[in-house]
Amino acid sequence: MYVSVELMAFHSYIVAAGFHARADAIETMKQVVAEVTAPSLDEKGCQIYHWSQGADDPTLFLLYMEWRDKACFEAHIATPHVRHAEDRLKGEKMLIEPAKEWHFYRL
């Protein structure tokens, strides 16, 4: 099925991100999650901002975000609270591997 880019502009912009934390960094990762969630939920265009932790592997974290449009998501990743979270993840070497992201438009 083909959907034009023009039609996509009117649908929510979805981002899923996967994080694989070190086992000894799980509690610190949860702190980062708590710190970044509240201000993210208050941002313009944020429709869903939800974190999950692996049921079988507690070192895995999934962030599911739904934004009104791509511009709102791009504004989000430029905010001080997101930059601070990214700096902590990198500076404290919390992740085993780089985070992975998948970007979608809602159909």
Rounded Cα distance between 85 and 82, Å, is 5
Which of the 8 DSSP states describes residue 23? Answer: G
pLDDT digits (tens, 9 = 90+) for 42-97: 999 999 999 999 999 999 999 999 999 999 999 999 999 999 999 999 999 999 99
Please state, as a whole number, how many other Cβ atoms lie within 10 Å of the Cβ of residue 47: 14
Residue 72: strand, helix, or coil: helix
**Are 104 and 62 spatial neighbours (Cβ–Cβ below 8 Å)?**
no
Q: What's the predicted TM-score (pTM) here?
A: 0.88
Q: What pLDDT, on a 0 to 100 scale, did the predictor assign at position 32?
A: 98
pLDDT reading at 9 higher than 80: no
Rounded Cα distance between 33 and 47, Å, is 17
Q: What pLDDT, on a 0 to 100 scale, did the predictor assign at position 11?
A: 84
Q: What pLDDT, on a 0 to 100 scale, did the predictor assign at position 2?
A: 53
Least confident of 6-10, 24-28, 43-47, 70-74: 6-10
Considering the domain 5-105 in this protein, what is its CATH number?
Answer: 3.30.70.100
